[in-house]
């Protein structure tokens, strides 16, 4: 079960031309927006990465604009865990549950999940917040990630798991977000 004091959100490579080539990108953007805003309701730290931003461009404004202070981790390795800056930021948070979102599910999301699992993290793939250029690669990426030990989740599932009770301010704010 997700615990607010032990969970973080990881948003991988929602950038310029890469984002524009994603299958079903409008739904991806809607769900990522809800997930990021939901993380804000629960006070979860969020790490955003950018794959070679000098070549692929920055995080799209629709995502970057959701943060008061936006400081993405630039990387060149497909796995976020292969980047020293990412690992330093991750380790500084002291959290062991990772809600995993981003693109592409069969490359950076998959390789990051495997490395996180090897390091003892609980990884939950937020399936409605991951994509690839083709539906087949998205599906294969998710299947291999789950087979490796990650758990399946969705925006609503994760947010209801974090809130736990059907009352209070956080519950009301979260329900407005997902409805």
Please enumerate in sequence order all residues whose Cβ is within 8 A of that of 168, keeping only pairs 6 or more positions apart, or say none. none
Burial 145-171 (b: 16+ CB within 10 A, else e): beeeebeebbbbbbbbbbbeeeeeebb
What pLDDT score does 8 carry? 98
What pLDDT score does 165 carry? 86
* 27: CATH: 3.40.50.850
Query: What is the torsional sign of CA 132, 136, 137, 143?
Result: positive
Contact 98, 32 (CB under 8 A): no
SS3 of the chain: helix, strand, coil, percent, to 5 = 50, 20, 30
Q: Which of 80, 81, 108, 129 is catalytic?
A: 108
Catalytic residue flag (residue 75): yes
Q: How far apart are CA 165 and CA 6, in angstroms?
A: 18
Catalytic residue flag (residue 169): no
Q: What is the pLDDT along the chain (179 residues), one digit of tens a residue?
A: 999 999 999 999 999 989 999 999 999 999 999 999 999 999 999 999 999 999 999 999 999 999 999 999 999 999 999 999 999 999 999 999 999 999 999 999 999 999 999 999 999 999 999 999 999 999 999 999 999 999 999 999 999 999 988 888 999 999 998 88
C-alpha dihedral over 98, 26, 148, 100, to 10 degrees?
Answer: -10
pTM: predicted TM-score of the whole model, two decimal places: 0.95
Can you say how many angstroms the Cα of residue 44 is from the centroid of all Cα atoms in its chain? 12
Query: What is the torsional sign of CA 81, 118, 91, 61?
Result: positive
Q: Which of 13, 83, 115, 128 is catalytic?
A: 13
What pLDDT score does 166 carry? 87
Q: How far apart are CA 78 and CA 27, in angstroms?
A: 24
Catalytic residue flag (residue 80): no
What pLDDT score does 20 carry? 93
Domain housing 139:
4-178
What pLDDT score does 9 carry? 98
Q: How far apart are CA 118 and CA 81, in angstroms?
A: 10
Number of domains in the chain: 1
Q: Which of 75, 80, 115, 128 is catalytic?
A: 75
């Amino acid at each position: 079960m997700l615990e607010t004091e032990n969970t973080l959100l990881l948003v991988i490579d929602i950038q310029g031309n890469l984002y524009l080539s994603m299958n079903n990108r409008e739904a991806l953007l809607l769900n990522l927006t809800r997930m990021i805003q939901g993380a804000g309701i629960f006070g979860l730290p969020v790490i955003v990465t950018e794959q070679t931003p000098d070549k692929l461009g920055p995080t799209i404004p629709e995502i970057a604009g959701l943060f008061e202070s936006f400081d993405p981790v630039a990387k060149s390795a497909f796995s976020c865990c292969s980047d020293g800056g990412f690992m330093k930021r991750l380790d500084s948070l002291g959290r062991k549950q990772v809600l995993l979102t981003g693109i592409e599910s069969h490359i950076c999301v998959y390789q990051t999940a495997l490395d996180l699992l090897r390091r003892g993290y609980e990884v939950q793939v937020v399936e409605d917040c991951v994509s690839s250029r083709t539906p087949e690669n998205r599906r294969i990426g998710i299947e291999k990630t789950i087979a490796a030990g990650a758990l399946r989740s969705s925006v609503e599932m994760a947010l209801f798991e974090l809130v736990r009770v059907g009352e209070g301010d956080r519950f009301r704010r979260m329900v407005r977000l997902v409805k």
